[in-house]
Structure 1
Amino acid sequence: MDAYDALPFPRTDVALSTLHFVKGIEDPAIFDHSLRSYLYGRFLGERQGLLPDRDYDDELLFLGCLLHDAGLSPEGNGDQPFDIDGADLAARFLTEQGLSPERIEVVWDAVALHLHYEVAVRKRPEIALVTAGAGLDLGDDDPPVLPADCTDHVHALLPRLHASAVLYDTIIGQALEKPHKAPPFTMAGELVRQRTQETWPTWQQLMSQPSGRHDYDGYQPRT
């Protein structure tokens, strides 16, 4: 795609097919965020001494970044939290592209874990750098990591288009339509709570529901 010739993306068949697919289903702001996540993930990898196609599979990192928010597209909006919906959509699409199950599993993990920083960063670089790159694009840059001229160049080619606001509104929109996609104590659930001012149940209330095991019946607190 001519618009991205100046950017160091993999040009394999599956990478280009995925680029076209994601561009066709995602809001432009989310699509640009996904591409910036890849660039910033690579950058963070280099700061750790990790080079593409020497220390990690660059195609898998690219696919994971491209697809990490696919669950926020109309095609990806199923009945699970958006990170899991996105991982399942990624797996279906990459299976159709003929990618091996072993490689698909890496991308699935990268997408499914991208909201769970403490877990993702302990995984292989193709997974860890998806989470790190996405977080850096959304403002996790204190103290500054990216040189100003780098971000200026990237934003000139991939404008932000109010990315954080669009992500928030899309997550909220899905969750208000399907509340089970944003259960209590999840990131999506917290965003819904902030928007609606709904009060979350306490741990004891959750455990005391009729379907619970009645662990609090007759219980005397130890402190």
Structure 2
Amino acid sequence: MDPFHELPFPSTELARETARYVRQRADPAIFNHSMRTYLYGRFLGEQRGLRPDRDYDDELLFLGCVLHDVGLTDDGNGDQRFELDGADLAARHLTAHGVPPDRVEVVWDAVALHLCGDIPLRKRPEIALVTTGAGYDLQPDGPPLPPGYADRIHAVLPRLRATVVLHDAVVGQALAKPQKAPPYSMPGELVRQHTGATWPTWEELMRMEPSWGDY
């Protein structure tokens, strides 16, 4: 029996196949986080008066949510920041399943932008709600959930110390490949906190060769 049947996930074949794809590759804590991201993104959308398949494409929202951390899998671990590696892997997966380029682009943006603060919130709901849903699952700062809803979600998708697992995955990738955590990025900040390293100042960055000599 489908363990997720009691929760309002999309039932399209692409949604089910993509959930299986991520579940086979991601740490269970990251997979559960990605699935909860959809539930919380959808809830937060409802608080804004947005209804699935009326105000946004519910399948696209689900695809962006379930794929948003796929850059933290072995298959997604390339040489870019994990959210960009994940966006590229998501696009390859969807393209291989015949998804049209315009729909692939929405998911790519949702995955690539989900760490970009307020920027994705200015985009279409299928992108914005990935960011808000993921943030709510890390720290539920926002409208309260209906009574018992979090218990229902966690019974099917237990947390498994998700915030710890996500932190360690980001840092672990970046320690092996420092280019994945450039200074002043979120991955870079997590590595800085982990290692105690210091970042160069703006002036020090501008003095590095090659330089225009402004300093």
Which TM-score band applies after superposition, normalised by the shorter structure?
over 0.9
Q: Does 1:3 align with 2:12?
A: no
- 1:6-45 correspondence to structure 2 within 5 Å: 6-45=6-45
User: Quick one: which amino acid aligns to residue 60 of structure 1?
Assistant: L
Q: Which residue of 1 aligns with 2:144?
A: 145
The amino acid of 2:204's aligned partner reads: Q
Are 2:206 and 1:207 aligned?
yes
**Over 4 Å off, 4+ runs:** none
Deviations 1:157-196 (A, max 9, x none): 1000000000000000000000000000000000000000
- Between the two proteins, the alignment pairs up a number of residues equal to 215
Post-superposition offset of 1:135: 0.2
Partner of 2:65: 65
Mapped pair 1:95 → 2:99: no
Kindly report the root-mean-square deviation, in angstroms, between the aligned alpha carbons of the 2 structures.
1.0
- Percent identity reads 63
Unaligned runs of 5+ in 1: 217-223
How far off its partner does 1:153 sit?
1.2
- Structure 2 CA distance for aligned equivalents of residues 24 and 213 of structure 1: 49
Cα displacement string for residues 14-59 of structure 1 (whole angstroms, at most 9, x for unaligned residues): 1111011000000000000000000000000000000000000000
Q: CA deviation at 1:212?
A: 1.8
Matched, 1:47 2:44: no
* Distance (Å, rounded) in 1 between the aligned partners of 2:147 and 2:69: 26
Paired residue secondary structure (1:9): coil
What are the ranges of 5 or more consecutive residues in structure 2 without an aligned counterpart? none
Within the alignment, does 1:78 sit opposite 2:65 as a pair? no
- CA distance in 1: counterparts of 2:57 and 2:164, whole angstroms: 31
For residue 185 of structure 1, what is the aligned residue in structure 2?
A: 184
How far apart are the structure 2 equivalents of 1:174 and 1:148?
A: 38
1: CA distance, partners of 2:184 / 2:130: 23
Per-residue CA deviation, residues 121-155 of structure 1 (Å, 9 max, x unaligned), is 0000000000000000001425x522341111111
Q: TM-score, normalised by structure 1?
A: 0.94
Question: Normalised by the size of structure 2, how large is the TM-score?
Answer: 0.98
**Which secondary structure does the structure 2 equivalent of 1:117 belong to?**
coil
Q: Equivalents in 2 of 1:102, 1:78: separation in Å?
A: 24
Return the index of the structure with the highest Cα Rg: 1
Say which SS state the counterpart of residue 118 (structure 2) adopts.
Answer: helix
- Secondary structure of the residue that 1:4 maps to in structure 2? coil
Deviation track 1:37-96 (CA, whole Å, cap 9, x = no partner) reads 000000000000000000000000000000000000000000000000000000000000
Counterpart of 2:125 in structure 1 is 125
